[in-house]
Amino acid sequence: MKPTETDRRDFLQQSVVGAAAAGLTIASTSHATAQPVADAAEPEITNDVDVLVVGGGTAGHVAAIQAGRAGAKTLIVERNSQLGGTTTTGGVAFPGLFDAWGKQVIAGIGWELVKESVELDGGKFPDFAKVPQRHWHNQVYTNQFLYAILAEEKCAEAGVEIAYYEFPQAVRKTEAGWEVDCVGFGTKRRVRCKQIIDCTGGAEVVGMLGLPRLREDERQPGSFLFMLGKAHTPGREQIHRLYVHGADSTNSRTATEANLTGRRTILAKVRKEKKRLMHLQPETGFRETYRIVGETLVTVNDYTSGRVFEDAISHAFYPVDLHTKTGVRPKPLKRGKVPTIPLRALIPKGSRNLIVAGRSVSSDRLANSGLRVQASCMGMGQAAGVAATLAAKAGSTPLDVPLADIRARLREHGQIIPGKA
Ligand SMILES: Cc1cc2nc3c(=O)[nH]c(=O)nc-3n(C[C@H](O)[C@H](O)[C@H](O)COP(=O)(O)OP(=O)(O)OC[C@H]3O[C@@H](n4cnc5c(N)ncnc54)[C@H](O)[C@@H]3O)c2cc1C
C-alpha cells in the first residue's frame, strides 16, 4: 500500500520527537582530536628503549614515571586500556597505607599522584599525625577516574611511551639486555631493551622466562566491586564487594571465568533485591596469584617484627590481612613496628637485567597479605624504576648498582628510605 499524506506527516512528527528525545539522552557534546599516530597503518613496529615496564598497574606506572624522570627511555606495555591496575580498573581506589604510628613512611611518586587526585577531586586526607583506631581509617579515598588520567599525564611529562592492549608473547636474552615480542590487536611490536620491570601482578615475564614462582593451591578470593541502589562516590564504605572465591588471574581463560562468575552473581542480586545497578567495575580485582622466588624472601616474622633489611628501599605498612571463605580478620602490627622491603626481594633469583615490583614481591603468603597493599606496591615500583634506570645507564644489572646510589636517587625523587641508611 502507498503511504498517504497523513502517514507521511505522522512519520515526520515521530522522527522529530524521536530526535529530540535522543538528543535529551546526551547532556552535552564536546570535542577532542586525537593526534595522528606515526606508522599507524604499519602492523609491525620496533622500539629501542632503556627500560620496558610490563604492566601499568599500581606499581607499574610509578616505576615507569620514575624511570622516565631519571632519564631512561621508557616504554610501558599494558594489556588493559588504562593505567592504575587494581587501583583503577579493579576499583580499589582507597590506597594505603602511607603512614605508620603518627607519621608518613611512604611518599614519592605514588603519594604525589594520590595527593593530586584527591586535591583535584576536592576530597579529604586522613590526618597522618594521628594513629587511627582502625588501620583503614588512614586509607586515602581517591577518584579512580582522575587517578588514571593523572597517571597518563605524568607519563607524558616524563617522556614515557604507553602501549595499551598489548602484552609480551616471547622474551629473549640479548647481549645488551632483552628482545621482547609484544602483541596487541593490529600491532606486533618488537621491543629491544636493556632492563625489564615486571609489574604484571603475577610475575608473568618471570614465568615466561621459566624462573621459579610460588603460588598457593587455594588463593584469597578476588573481589568484584559494585554499587546497588545509589550512586557510587569515591570512598570505601559506599561500595559493595562480591567475593569471587577461586578467582584466578593466571591466564585469559581463568580471568574470564572469574569475570563471568562475578557479573552473573551481581545480575542475580539485582533481580533479587530489585535495585538499580549503579556502578560496576570492568573486572574482578585479584588479591593473590604468583609471587617470585627472589634473592631473598620476606617472611611473616620479618614483616611483623619490622625488620630493617640492610638493603631496604622502602617501607610497607598494613596488618597481616588474609581473606578467606569466612571473611578477613586483619592482624594489626605491634605498636611502633614498620616493615621494610629489601631490594633483593624484587630480584628473581639468579636473574640479570630483570626486576619485579608489586604484589608478586618475594615473600611468604602471610607476609604477602600485608605487603601487597598499594602504598607498598608504589614504593616498590619507584625503587624498581630507579634500580633499572641506573643499571641501564651503567650497563649492569639492578643488583650490581650501589645501594647508596639507588637510595640517593630515591630521596631526590621524594621517597622515604627506611632506617639510618
Ligand atoms: C578487592 C581488593 C581489595 C583490596 N583492598 C586494598 C585496600 O583496601 N588498600 C590497599 O592499599 N590495597 C588493597 N588491595 C591490594 C592492592 O590493591 C593490590 O595488591 C595492588 O594494587 C597490586 O598492585 P600491582 O601493581 O602488583 O598489580 P596490579 O595493580 O593488579 O597491576 C598489574 C597490571 O599489569 C597488567 N598486566 C598483567 N599481565 C600483563 C601482561 N602479561 N602484559 C601486560 N600487562 C599485564 C594488568 O592489566 C594490570 O594493569 C586490594 C586488592 C583487591 C583485589
DSSP string, 45-84: EEEEEEEEEE--STTHHHHHHHHHHTT--EEEEESSSSS-
> Which pLDDT band, with edges at 50, 70 and 90, does 24 fall under?
low
Ligand 1 within 6 A of CB of 151: no
Of all protein residues, whose CA lies closest to atom 4 belonging to ligand 1?
Answer: 92
| Cis peptide bond N-terminal to 354, omega within 30 | no
Ligand 1 within 6 A of CB of 319: no
Of all protein residues, whose CA lies closest to atom 5 belonging to ligand 1?
Answer: 92
Amino acid in position 228:
L
Instruction: Output the pLDDT for position 25.
Output: 87
- How much is the average pLDDT of 306-320? 98
Instruction: Output the pLDDT for position 376.
Output: 98
Three cell numbers, residue 100: 605508620
| pLDDT tens-digit series, residues 149-175 | 999 999 999 999 999 999 999 999 999
Ligand 1 within 6 A of CB of 290: no
Three cell numbers, residue 366: 602471610
Ligand 1 within 6 A of CB of 294: no
Ligand 1 within 6 A of CB of 358: yes
What's the gap in Å between 288 CA and the centre of ligand 1? 9
> Which pLDDT band, with edges at 50, 70 and 90, does 236 fall under?
low
- How much is the average pLDDT of 392-398? 98
The whole-angstrom distance between residue 113's C-alpha and the CA centroid of its chain comes to: 13
Do 67 and 50 contact (CB within 8 A), yes or no?
Answer: yes
Three cell numbers, residue 382: 619507584
Ligand 1 within 6 A of CB of 92: yes
Taking the C-alpha atoms of residue 169 and residue 188, their distance in angstroms, rounded to an integer, is 10
Q: What is the mean pLDDT of the chain?
A: 93
Task: Let me know the angle formed at the C-alpha of 248 by 201 and 56, rounded to the nearest 5 degrees.
Answer: 25
Among residues of the chain, what percentage have pLDDT more than 90? Answer: 88
- State the pTM of this model: 0.94
Of all protein residues, whose CA lies closest to atom 31 belonging to ligand 1?
Answer: 57
- How much is the average pLDDT of 311-334? 94
Taking the C-alpha atoms of residue 368 and residue 110, their distance in angstroms, rounded to an integer, is 20
Of all protein residues, whose CA lies closest to atom 35 belonging to ligand 1?
Answer: 55
In 156-237, beta strands by DSSP E = 161-164, 167-173, 178-184, 187-198, 213-214, 222-228
What's the gap in Å between 263 CA and the centre of ligand 1? 19
